[in-house]
């Protein structure tokens, strides 16, 4: 619950993950070059890590990709509902309605409100570089 995903993974002996279906979002990530897969959990009572941005492995369409997952309310775009949305690095296919599994590797940073979409985009570029490491 504190976002200490590396410690949790070490204690569990595996990478903690969430499993759900890709649902439509508001498509704002696409407008700044970072489309996201919004997830509706199959297990709605499963513990969701603390709000923030995480480096993740993403299983979709029978393949595993590196990605970055945001858990939170998306304050820069005026969001209020808590969402789980994942940008899959190097992937741009229509996967609405397909199952998605996200396995958490490392917490990158807190979710925060940026002064503009451009400032958010610049941070996402840095987050993507950190995920590739």
Structural domains counted in the chain: 1
pTM: 0.94
For residue 75, give its domain range. 5-132
Question: What are the tens digits of pLDDT across the range 65-81?
Answer: 999 999 999 998 888 89
Question: What are the tens digits of pLDDT across the range 45-56?
Answer: 999 999 999 999
Query: How far apart (Å, rounded) are the C-alpha atoms in residues 132 and 125?
Result: 11
Q: Does the pLDDT at position 30 exceed 90?
A: no
Could you tell me the CATH number of the domain that includes residue 25?
2.40.30.30
Q: Does the pLDDT at position 28 exceed 80?
A: no
Query: Kind and range of the H or E element at 22?
Result: strand 17-23
Q: What local confidence, expressed as pLDDT, does residue 121 receive?
A: 92
Residue with structure tokens 């997830």?
39
Tokens of 43: 């297990």
Query: How far apart (Å, rounded) are the C-alpha atoms in residues 27 and 77?
Result: 11
Closest CA to 58 of 18, 109, 118: 18
Query: When comparing pLDDT for 133 and 51, which is higher?
Result: 51
């Amino acid at each position: 619950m504190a976002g200490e995903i590396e410690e949790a993974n070490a204690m569990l002996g595996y990478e903690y993950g969430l499993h759900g279906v890709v649902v439509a979002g508001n498509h704002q990530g696409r407008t700044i070059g970072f489309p996201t897969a919004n997830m509706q959990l199959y297990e709605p009572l499963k513990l969701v890590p603390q709000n923030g941005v995480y480096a993740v492995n993403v299983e979709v369409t029978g393949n595993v990709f590196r990605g970055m997952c945001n858990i939170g309310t998306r304050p820069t775009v005026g969001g209020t509902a808590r969402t789980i949305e994942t940008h899959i690095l190097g992937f741009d296919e229509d996967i609405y309605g397909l199952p998605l599994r996200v396995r958490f590797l490392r917490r990158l940073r807190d979710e925060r409100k940026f002064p503009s979409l451009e400032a958010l985009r610049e941070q996402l570029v840095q987050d993507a570089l950190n995920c590739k490491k």
